């Protein structure tokens, strides 16, 4: 996830990862533009990756594609949600 932040042009602030004694890892990379996180369940060959970004200098799709490639994902499910003032105006406009 650190490398995903780098290839997406994000500004890394901090990171922390917990490796479970049995299997898996959970971690977050705090970036100036928000954060990237991962939670893995190797026993199920499953990983959940969240990429939250803002601004125009970062490419969240680069951050998405890096772990997808490294983990050799056989299939992916993606949900893109726009956030911010413009989105709220559309959601609450009558």
DSSP string, 44-71: GTEEEEEEE--SSS--HHHHHHHHHHHT
pLDDT of 50-68, one tens digit each?
999 988 889 999 999 999 9
Average pLDDT over residues 12-32: 96
pTM for this model (two decimals): 0.82
Structure tokens at 37: 């996180």
CATH class of 2-92: alpha beta
Cβ(54)–Cβ(84) under 8 Å?
yes
Q: What is the pLDDT at residue 85?
A: 59
Average pLDDT over residues 4-31: 96
Positions marked catalytic: 34, 39, 54
- Of all residues in the chain, the percent with pLDDT exceeding 90 is 70
Domain boundaries, the chain: 2-92
């Amino acid at each position: 996830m650190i490398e995903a932040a780098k290839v997406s042009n994000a500004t890394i602030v901090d990171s922390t990862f917990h490796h479970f004694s049995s299997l898996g890892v959970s971690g977050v990379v705090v970036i100036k533009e928000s954060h990237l996180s991962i939670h893995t369940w190797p026993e199920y060959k499953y990983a959940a990756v969240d990429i939250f970004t803002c601004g125009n200098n970062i490419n969240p799709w680069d951050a998405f594609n890096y772990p997808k490639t490294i983990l050799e994902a056989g299939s992916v499910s993606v949900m893109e949600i726009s956030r911010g003032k413009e989105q709220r105006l559309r959601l609450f406009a009558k």
